[in-house]
Structure 1
Amino acid sequence: MRRMSGRDTKAKALVEEILHSIFFLGQFLKPPCTPEKIISTGRKLAGLKTQYPVSFELYSSQLPRRSPFSCVLDMFVHMIGKQTKKDKDHLLIQMLKDFIRPLKKDGLKSRPLVSSTICVSKCNNSDSYYGVSMSTTGCHPGRIMVAASCLGTYWDSYVAGAVMTYYPTKEKKSYFDGTFKLPGKVHCQSFNLSDGEKKDPCKSCGNLFGLSKTVGMEWAYGHCAEAESLSNLFKNVEEIRNDVHPQYGSFPIPEKKTRAKKNVRDELERILPNTFKWDGHFYTPG
């Protein structure tokens, strides 16, 4: 058997994670949809079960850390690699637009599991770090994915803390404030994945991250592409993260943060489907 390269290993892990996330979300369809129903071709199903067995084994017991299209984004970033820096943002956006364009041919107004927005965050001449909006359909799947991103350590703790300040409603918690204002040197810009046009941040992102020139719409907190994009920036550029100062200060009172996390977890467990028997773990591909 050919030894798998580092790039091949990364791609395989992403496919594994995409499948697990899709299979998990299939439990929210009416009626619920099993992997066997999602992948209707017998030969293809057998091949995927052989190559990615863990995705099939754990979709009904472990929570995904993020939505499927977030994994797709990482796949395209992985494909581009470091081969280009000039116009990398434009290339990535165009690749994602080309990827989702055929999905419009079904005539549906909405495209399940496909994000509508990408955000690009950077500091001066740093590399770009990307994020996409939550690619879920329905209220409960979106809430579950936001909670999982906060609790499953996929999002940077500063971003998670800001989102938990408002989750699960749009009402700010009275006992915990993890919101922050981005340093002026950070540039954060979103684009519509249908036409590539720039999008101003919504009121929610203004409340969470101090982004200015926001539009009046207040989307559910944590659903916007800015959360994932800024999280990736913070995880990769320590200098920027050190310049971020959440409202709770450098040392939040542990009891308050624990209470906020418990509130998120309680809501998460409340809205999980009956078919899902959570073992307390968040799925991380091997």
Structure 2
Amino acid sequence: MAERTRKEEYLKTQEALRGNALKLITVMLEWSNKPPGSKYLVDEILHCIFFLGQVNNVPYSPESIIGDEEILEKLKERYPRPFKFYLIQLPRRSPFSCVMDMVVQQEGQENENRILTCLRQLLTGLEKNFLVSTTLCISQKAKNSERYYGVSMSTTGPNPGKIVIAASCLSNWDDYVADAVTTYYPVKQKKPFFDGTIKLPRYVRCQAFNIRERITLPPCRSCANLFGLSTNEGKEWDYGHCAEAESLSNLLKNDNGVKRETRQESPTCNPANRQQAIDSVHKKLQEVLRTVQFKRWDGEFYSPQVTN
């Protein structure tokens, strides 16, 4: 009897994934009618959510997430590819990154307070943990320069986190950020044969915020180790989990000047060792996919293709 009660309680906690998923899909559909050229973000978040629903401890199919047959058919007609590929391709990032991009498009990258407010208001209507990020990071070269945003991994549980961090390293992040995270992935221990950690120029702003409380957060120990950020924090999150990774990746992808002045200082950071590190990430990713019974991966990472 006690065991059955525990199982029932556990199943109830997992329902938050379904509830949050439906709310995020609904709001992204509404928002996609405003900024032109944003419907690809709906396509991408649908695939992210369907994939994470599939590998969740209690799996959820797209049909069980959407629930309403009429809405489901309309989604399949307008966005067919997420339904086709969620069982065979991996997302390049976690779903709340798509939400963040949509909000930045709506509010404008210069309006960081409005972006924070919008994300905070959204979180008030969502359960904690499932598919939502707790942290937003803003990186920029100078006070009045372009701002580049990132959010923490909106995954729940160690295996989904390991999958999406590996996918981001292999398919999405700037190569310097990917090298830094690959140095440690999948454990909190530096690889003996490769050190791709970086030192950012001192002038770079990289500031994280707790989204719900709107308070600034210092870099954790992991981000200090990866990117040379100054901190007194001892907390070491999983490498690649934090919002700083995505935010700095977006900065380095778009600002060649900052990229040129960012340093990879270890003599072990060379092409041969880098390839060995990448191979190790790929191997671990395949192991984790087998663990979560995701056995049909075609080796590709999902790219949204929607004509607005």
With normalisation by structure 1, the TM-score equals 0.91
Per-residue CA shift, 1:56-113, capped at 9, x if unaligned?
A: 000010110000001110011111236xx3xx11110011001111114xxxxx3301
Q: Partner residue of 2:211? A: 193
User: Could you tell me the percent identity over the aligned residues?
Assistant: 49
Amino acid at match of 2:121: D
8 Å contact kept, 1:191–1:199: yes
Give me the whole-angstrom Cα distance separating, in 2, the residues matched to 1:81 and 1:128: 10
8 Å contact kept, 1:120–1:189: yes
Amino acid at match of 2:48: S
Per-residue CA shift, 1:233-265, capped at 9, x if unaligned?
A: 01111100110011246x943221111001100
Amino acid at match of 1:245: R
Give me the whole-angstrom Cα distance separating, in 1, the residues matched to 2:232 and 2:214: 19
CA-based RMSD of the aligned residues comes to 1.8
Q: Partner residue of 1:135? A: 154
Give me the whole-angstrom Cα distance separating, in 2, the residues matched to 1:236 and 1:43: 41
Q: Which has the higher helix share?
A: 2
Structure 2 residue 201 is the aligned partner of structure 1 residue 183: yes
- Aligned to 2:226, what secondary structure does the other structure show? helix
Amino acid at match of 1:161: D
Q: Partner residue of 2:274? A: 257
Q: Partner residue of 1:95? A: 118
Structure 2 residue 83 is the aligned partner of structure 1 residue 64: no
Alignment length (residue pairs)? 271
With normalisation by structure 2, the TM-score equals 0.85
Inter-CA distance 5–29: structure 2 relative to 1 (3 Å threshold): closer
Q: Partner residue of 2:76? A: 49
Amino acid at match of 1:25: L
Alignment of 1:116-265 (within 5 A): 116-124=134-142, 125-152=144-171, 154-248=172-266, 252-265=269-282
- Aligned to 1:119, what secondary structure does the other structure show? strand
Give me the whole-angstrom Cα distance separating, in 2, the residues matched to 1:59 and 1:78: 26
Per the TM alignment, residue 137 of structure 1 is displaced from its structure 2 partner at its CA by 0.3
Give me the whole-angstrom Cα distance separating, in 1, the residues matched to 2:96 and 2:297: 22
Give me the whole-angstrom Cα distance separating, in 2, the residues matched to 1:243 and 1:278: 38
Amino acid at match of 1:239: G
Per the TM alignment, residue 211 of structure 1 is displaced from its structure 2 partner at its CA by 0.6
Amino acid at match of 1:100: L
Structure 1 segments, 4+ long, off by >6 Å, are none
8 Å contact kept, 2:151–2:247: yes
List alignment gaps of at least 5 residues for structure 2. 1-31
- Aligned to 2:114, what secondary structure does the other structure show? helix
Per-residue CA shift, 1:20-57, capped at 9, x if unaligned?
A: 00000011223321111111111111110111000100
List alignment gaps of at least 5 residues for structure 1. 105-109
8 Å contact kept, 2:130–2:156: yes
Give me the whole-angstrom Cα distance separating, in 1, the residues matched to 2:191 and 2:197: 11
Per the TM alignment, residue 5 of structure 1 is displaced from its structure 2 partner at its CA by 10
8 Å contact kept, 2:56–2:160: no
